[in-house]
Amino acid sequence: MNAQAPALRDPRLNRPEPFTPRDGGFFQRDRSVHPPAYAPGYKSSVLRSPRQALLSIESSVSEVTGPVFGHNDLGPLDNDLIRNYAKDGDPIGERIIVHGRVLDETGRGVPNTLVEFWQANAGGRYRHKKDTYLAPVDPNFGGCGRALTDDTGYYYFRTVKPGPYPWRNFVNSWRPAHIHFSVFGSGFAQRLITQMYFEGDPLIPVCPILTTIPDKDALDRLVAPLDLNASTPFDSLAYRFDIVLRGQRSTYFENRTAGN
Amino acid sequence: MPQPLDYLKETASQTAGPYVHIGLIPAMAGFDIFEKNFSNVLVTPNTQGERVTLEGKVIDGSGSPLRDVLLEIWQANAAGRYNHPADRSAGALERDFRGWGRGGSDFESGVVTFETIKPGGMTDKTGRKCAPHVNVWIVARGINIGLNTRLYFSDEEAANAADPVLNLVEPPVRRKTLIATRGERGGKVVYSFTINLQGSDETVFFDV
């Protein structure tokens, strides 16, 4: 993989340009790695999926741009789910670190981008007024957090491993343990929500939501491996989850009004 | 055999699920956790431009409103400038207008609102004039990958008729699914919209 693309060469001048903003629009989304809108095994997709084809439009400034976030938007405990809702102690559960990089399809790290995450507690219960599962809420666990990636696209947070939980799809449907992720990227067209699963979970191959993904490799990339090298001895295990957003093209020879 | 290119593959999307509010709008889930929260209010007292409310619903294939949907909007300021370094157009940048907001639907009525300003039109990279519009991204339980659409404004008929994206919509009758209707309520300007996920009058969704 190219960690860094070579400096672009302007063929008219035959000299390298020092820096070229990558504002030429995003790589076309490869829909074969994503679940289809209509996936009847996941029953609520049936009424919530368009029947008309999507209309493809070239990236314009509306799509290449997106919201910019900064450290002012975050609090000091936002990436620490063990402490950010602690009332009278730590939450119950397996202490874990989740870490990784946000990259684009060219392998470049996506710096300074917002990553948000939310999850159930160790017993599979969400802190949400609409969740009525009989497993109890944990008084010291909220279940959400957020982080900005650093200059290399790296993020990390600390939490407890979520438990599986039942849901009304088939009579006996259970979600694998998972953490929901929301990622922005540099342009609004890179916006992505996904779910991270845990290596070795036997519920993964029977989950009607996860198996909406037709591509086996794409599915496997949502499964975070255990990362003993990143664990903290006598404190926390660690899982590694890298996230890939759409790549971005350079503007080469478009009929543009602003210079590259 | 050609040599393979070494691009990575995009991470697969998954549904945001019914409890998306926990992570993205915790107050709607029923608790308070962050010092600073994102919201559906884009304006501050200093924001330039006409104050407007965007108010709408997302409707499923049975005609019922989604009551667990989350929308994000992304728009230019009143001068048609996006608050992002890749927009190098001439309009004045407003540092304190981010141009982005997020709102969840009411759990009973399904209504989603945003307090914002009407964006200015912009010029695309080929020099064409674009009608004022707001980009909308929709996620919910049952939606496997976020849906992208746009809101245009009913009182911008001439600009809408010339808009390069609206003009790609075939058949033309479907263009009206992207137009929010201007009205007034209590002295405030309200643009009403309906996003139909499926069926007759299905909203146009974009592969952006």
Q: Is A35 part of the contact surface with chain B (CB cutoff 8 Å)?
A: yes
pLDDT at B90: 85
pLDDT at B1: 80
pLDDT at A253: 56
Which positions in chain A touch B86 (Cβ < 8 Å)?
21, 23, 61, 64-65, 186-187
pLDDT, tens digit, 9 for 90 and up, residues B135-188: 999 999 999 999 999 999 999 999 999 999 999 999 999 999 999 999 999 999
Q: Which of B12, B203, B205 sits opposite A194 (nearest CB)?
A: B12
Amino acid symbol at B77: N
pLDDT at A187: 95
Chain A, 107 to 166: residues with Cβ < 8 Å from chain B are 107, 116-118, 126-131, 142-144, 146
Whole-number average pLDDT of chain B: 96
Which positions in chain A touch B9 (Cβ < 8 Å)?
30, 33, 105, 217-218, 221, 244
Amino acid symbol at A216: K
Q: Which residue from A136, A121, A140, A235 is spatially nearest to A178, judged by alpha carbons?
A: A121
In this prediction, residues A150-172 reach a mean pLDDT of 98
Least confident of A137-151, A246-260, B97-111, B112-126: A246-260
Neighbours of A71 (CB within 10 A): 10
In this prediction, residues B48-60 reach a mean pLDDT of 98
pLDDT confidence bin for A15, thresholds 50/70/90: very low
Which H/E stretch holds residue B72? strand B70-74
Neighbours of A5 (CB within 10 A): 12
Q: For residues A71 and B51, give the distance between their C-alpha atoms in angstroms, rounded to a whole number.
A: 28
* pTM listed for this prediction: 0.93
Which positions in chain A touch B95 (Cβ < 8 Å)?
none
HEC profile of chain A: CCCCCCCCEECCCCEECCCCCCCCCECCCCHHHCCCCCCCCCHHHCCCCCCCCCEECCCCHHHHCCCCCCHHHCCCCCCECCCCCCCCCCCCCCEEEEEEEEEECCCCECCCCEEEEECCCCCCCCCCCCCCCCCCCCCCCCCEEEEECCCCCEEEEEEECCCCEEECCCCCEEECCEEEEEECCCCHHHCEEEEEEECCCCCHHHCCCHHHCCCHHHHHCCEECECHHHCECCCEEEEECCEEECCECCCCCCCCCCCC
In this prediction, residues A56-68 reach a mean pLDDT of 93
Residue A210 dihedral angles phi and psi, to the nearest 5°: -65, -40
pLDDT confidence bin for A55, thresholds 50/70/90: very high
pLDDT, tens digit, 9 for 90 and up, residues A190-238: 999 999 999 999 999 999 999 999 999 999 999 999 999 999 999 999 9
pLDDT at B19: 98
What interface predicted TM-score (ipTM) does this complex get? 0.97
CB pairs under 8 A between A and B: 282
Give Cβ neighbours of residue B123 (< 8 Å, ≥ 6 apart).
A257, B80, B89, B129, B130
pLDDT at A249: 82
Is pLDDT at A183 greater than 80 in this prediction?
A: yes
Helix (H, G, I), strand (E, B) or coil at B59: strand
Helix (H, G, I), strand (E, B) or coil at B28: helix
Q: For residues A117 and A124, give the distance between their C-alpha atoms in angstroms, rounded to a whole number.
A: 15
pLDDT, tens digit, 9 for 90 and up, residues A81-136: 999 999 999 999 999 999 999 999 999 999 999 999 999 999 999 999 999 999 99
In this prediction, residues A174-181 reach a mean pLDDT of 98
Compute and round to an integer the Cα radius of gyration of chain B. 18
Contact B84 A1 (CB under 8 A): no
Indicate if the alpha-carbon torsion angle B56, B58, B63, B68 is positive or negative.
negative
Q: For residues A159 and A181, give the distance between their C-alpha atoms in angstroms, rounded to a whole number.
A: 14
pLDDT, tens digit, 9 for 90 and up, residues A25-36: 899 999 999 999
Q: Is A106 part of the contact surface with chain B (CB cutoff 8 Å)?
A: yes
In this prediction, residues B194-198 reach a mean pLDDT of 98
Instruction: Please indicate whether residue A180 is annotated as part of the active site.
Output: yes
Instruction: Please indicate whether residue A175 is annotated as part of the active site.
Output: yes
pLDDT at A23: 56
Whole-number average pLDDT of chain A: 90
Which H/E stretch holds residue B137? strand B133-139
In this prediction, residues A141-168 reach a mean pLDDT of 98
pLDDT at A257: 42
Q: What percent of chain B has pLDDT over 90?
A: 89
Compute and round to an integer the Cα radius of gyration of chain A. 21
Give the Cα-Cα-Cα angle A56, A61, A63 (nearest 5 degrees).
Answer: 45
